[in-house]
Amino acid sequence: MNVTGVVVEYNPFHNGHKLHINETKQITDADLIVAIMSGNFLQRGEPALISKWARTKMALNQGVDIVLELPYVYATQHAELFANGAISILNGFGANSVCFGSESGDIKDFHRLIKFINENETTYRESIRDALKKGVSYPKALSFAFKKLKNHNQVLDLSLPNNILGYQYVKAIYEQKANIKPFTIKRKEAQYHDKEIPKQSIASATSIRKKLVKEQDHLNSINHVVPSTTYDELVQYRKMYHNFQDWERLFPYLKYKVLTSSPIALANIYEAEEGLENRLSQTINEATSFQSLMEKIKTKRYTWTRLQRFCLHTLTNSTKEEMSAINDTTPYIRVLGMNQKGRKYINNQKKYLELPLISTISKINHPFINIEKRATSCYSLGYSPIIQAKLIKEEYAHPPVII
């Protein structure tokens, strides 16, 4: 049986995602599509627009057979750790292929790149170190170092965001010796960070979120870029939860956290380094919004994403010690949802799975789960007290969504 994994955020699920699923099925000849999806918080260090359950429904309604959760400890990390987590869970779940979007679109590029970087490893690492000393951000340093390598322009362009992520998936497969074959599809039309909704039917998730958060009444304006099932889910979500989530709703809690934490406590937060926590403490009082805080703490040294992730770990009180669990802890497989085909697969496979399978988390004792629960608590605080209680109850006791 051909089980294909896709690594997703679906924030929210849109026509581009639908296209990716269709193309994936074609090129991998998949019998089953397993999406491994980030939960409440995303790789850019942001809360998801809508709950993991609503996003799971959106995926199942559009051809995904099983949705697994990518735990917070992986989902809110830079590309390498993010990819490592996703590949290890997909591998443990028995996926035998993975398909990702990239600017390149040719999987041979990725295999060649792995070989090329292996051959140039020493030079590459030295150049990265030199570039970092000059005070540029980590992604910039990677890009500089790569461009200094002889013949780099004969392999994949590693300055493009989806090529980077794809490279990390393929690298993780090699390093973990995972029994997974990678595939890639060329990304079309919408660029990842587009801010405007185009007239055609494919738009970036960024532009869709922007529209939904800023103009909560204008669901109509995104109607043509999402499947009707997504649209209906968004309408229903807004009706039940009253608002979509964003950082500004959580900002008061971040502010409170920074104002009441000791310097030592802040320095122990994951990703606090080089006095970043002092920068946060010193500017928090002047900031009247999350946006203004970010503008105040931004420097050349750190990317916006890196800083958002640090703010997020501060909000969720995720310490260096706790997060170091990813180095030596076997992950679990948490099923967020499945259709009937997916259910059959799980029932047949569950005794052969290499990782523990969990559905509701209330009774699970696992270091990742403690962080997950706390992340959900923080996520819920962006809503009214009654919705808060509902979201937390869902986290603890929600069975997988079944369609």
Binding site, annotated residues = 7-20, 101, 162, 187
Closest CA to 182 of 267, 114, 273, 230: 114
Which of 353, 389, 397, 402 forms a contact with a second copy (CB under 8 A)? 389
Does 252 sit near a second copy (CB under 8 A)?
Answer: yes
Please list, in sequence order, all residues whose beta carbon lies within 8 angstroms of the beta carbon of residue 43, skipping any fewer than 6 positions away: 9, 75, 76, 77, 82, 305
| Cα separation of the two ends of the chain | 22
| 3-state SS assignment for residue 373 | helix
Among 179, 221, 285, 299, binds a second copy (CB under 8 A): 285
How many CA atoms does the CB half-sphere of 337 hold within 13 Å? 22
The site string for a second copy over 110-149 (x = CB under 8 A, - otherwise) reads: ----------------------------------------
Q: Is 146 exposed, middle or buried (0-12, 13-18, 19+ CB in 10 A)?
A: buried
Question: How far apart are the C-alpha atoms of 206 and 113, rounded to whole Å?
Answer: 29
Residues at the binding site for ATP are: 7-20, 101, 162, 187
* Chosen residue from 177, 274, 385, 399 binding a second copy by CB under 8 A: 385
**Contact at 8 Å (CB) between 371 and 322?**
yes
353 interacts with a second copy by CB under 8 A: no
Does residue 386 bind a second copy (CB under 8 A)?
yes
Amino acid at 21: I
Dist. CA 41–CA 371, nearest whole Å: 12
**Interface with a second copy includes 76 (CB under 8 A)?**
no
User: Does 255 sit near a second copy (CB under 8 A)?
Assistant: yes
**Residue 242 touches a second copy, criterion: CB under 8 A:** no
Residue 378 binds a second copy (CB under 8 A): yes
Contacting residue, 264, 286, 328, 365, with a second copy by CB under 8 A:
286
Greatest alpha-carbon span in the chain:
60
Contact 311, 254 (CB under 8 A): yes
Taking CB under 8 A as the criterion, the residue among 14, 18, 257, 398 binding a second copy is 257
User: Closest Cα partner for 307 from 271, 346, 264?
Assistant: 271
Please report how close the Cβ of residue 382 comes to a second copy at its closest, in angstroms: 10
DSSP 263-292: HHHHHTBTT--TTHHHHHHHHHTT-SSHHH
Under the criterion CB under 8 A, does residue 2 sit at the interface with a second copy? no
Using CB under 8 A as the binding rule, the residues of this chain from 291 to 320 that contact a second copy are: 315-317
Tell me if 356 sits within 8 A of 333, measured CB to CB: yes
CB of 255 to a second copy, least distance (A): 7
How many residues in the shown chain lie near a second copy by CB under 8 A? 24
Residue 374 found at the interface with a second copy (CB under 8 A): yes
Q: Considering only the stretches 20-28, 65-73, 247-255, 339-347, report the one whose residues sit in contact with a second copy under the rule CB under 8 A.
A: 247-255
Least distance (Å) from a second copy to the CB of residue 371?
10
- Best CA proximity match to 102, nearest among 38, 156, 34: 156
Stretch that binds a second copy, among 76-84, 87-95, 188-196, 384-392 (CB under 8 A): 384-392
Instruction: Kindly tell me which residue out of 153, 289, 299, 362 binds a second copy, with binding defined by CB under 8 A.
Output: 289
Q: 398: which 2 tokens?
A: 């929600």
Neighbours of 44 (CB within 10 A): 17
397 binds a second copy per the rule CB under 8 A: no
- Determine which residue in the list 256, 329, 356, 362 makes contact with a second copy, applying CB under 8 A: 256
CA distance linking residue 48 with residue 378, whole number of Å: 12
Contact string (CB under 8 A) for a second copy, positions 316-345, x = contact: xx----------------------------
Backbone angles phi, psi at 67, to 5 degrees: -115, 125
Interaction site with a second copy (CB under 8 A): 252-253, 255-257, 259-261, 285-286, 288-289, 315-317, 374, 377-378, 381, 385-386, 388-389, 392
